[in-house]
Amino acid sequence: MPASIFQSPAMLIQDFTSGLEKIQALQSAEIAQPDFNPNLKTILLTHGQKTRRAVLWFHGYTAATPQFRPLAEHSFERGCNVLVPCVPHHGFKDRMSSEVSRVKAQELLDFTSKMVDVMHALGDEIVVGGLSMGGALAAWVAQERPDVKTAVIVAPFLGPFIIAAPLTRPVAHATQLLPDIRQWWDPVKKEAIAGPEYGYLQHSTRSLGQILKLGFQVAETARRRPPAVADIWLALNDNDHSVNNVMAERLAASWQKAGAKSVRTFHFPVSLGLPHDLISIEQPNAKPQLVYGELMKMVG
């Protein structure tokens, strides 16, 4: 019987060498896949031994690990070991890959849990963060993993910007009943869209619904009990036209009402004109120096 979406058991890996072998095996499995782009494999930055703090970053939906490489290097330079795993069904050479439609909530959760497990081999204190889909994964970690010290949830995809919060759940449910629809991120520019050259050019309605499913589960649990992580940061972009910030703020309010120890919300103002993907240095109007400076304060 498959595990519930909130019952992916922790199996902590404490030994540095064992953890390194697990990560190297993951990288080998990635590049062994036909048509996988080896330049997009899981990123591991280590100091050759376990460090006081280790940082885990989850990239966004249809993005890839290079999205977080510059930010990962900031943490590495501060003495942390850092892991940026390639999320399942990402990282393929074909930017029109059908893998975009295969993302499933339970698989995302199982993968997230395994990545948190292996982080204990890299550091004594674990920080987990992510953007968009990765932000939803970091929100699950915040709710469920007491072995993590800090969660940094950046522009989480808990609901789309264009759909009012009350309608999000029925729309997400409909995506699982109707045929999958592949849509361009930019229906006008299509392949000529500005930004990184490694991300997929289309998204899948069914996969987006699966990511929302995970977010709904986090929100429901947050209304019943406090989060497991003691130190939570929620970083929102007020210029974001991809995700619904209202739903993220409601999650923070639920955590606070449930008795969370520390939930802090930071807003990047509209005046900055930041894109939804405020992490990638290749994005138009990216301001990595400013954004990274704030996020590094949260990482600690």
Q: What is the residue-level pLDDT of the chain in tens, covering all 300 positions?
A: 234 445 566 789 999 999 999 999 999 999 999 999 999 999 999 999 999 999 999 999 999 999 999 999 999 999 999 999 999 999 999 999 999 999 999 999 999 999 999 999 999 999 999 999 999 999 999 999 999 999 999 999 999 887 777 778 888 888 898 999 999 999 999 999 999 999 999 999 999 999 999 999 999 999 999 999 999 999 999 999 999 999 999 999 999 999 999 999 999 999 999 999 999 999 999 999 999 999 999 998
Rounded to an integer, what distance in angstroms lies between the CA atom of residue 80 and that of residue 75?
A: 6
Superfamily of domain 16-299: Alpha/Beta hydrolase fold, catalytic domain (3.40.50.1820)
SS (H, E, C) 237-277: ECCCCCECHHHHHHHHHHHHHHCCCEEEEEEECHHHCCCCC
Cα–Cα distance measured from residue 115 to residue 58, given in angstroms and rounded to the nearest whole number: 10
Give the strands of the sheet with 150-154, arranged side by side. Answer: 43-45, 81-84, 51-58, 123-131, 150-154, 231-237, 262-268
Query: Phi, psi at residue 262, to the nearest 5°?
Result: -155, 110
Over the stretch 252-291, which tens digit does the pLDDT of each residue have? 999 999 999 999 999 999 999 999 999 999 999 999 999 9
**C-beta separation of 70 from 281 below 8 A:** yes
- For the chain, the structural domain boundaries read 16-299
- Write the single-letter amino acid at 226: P
Provide the whole-model pTM. Answer: 0.95
Residue 92 DSSP code:
B
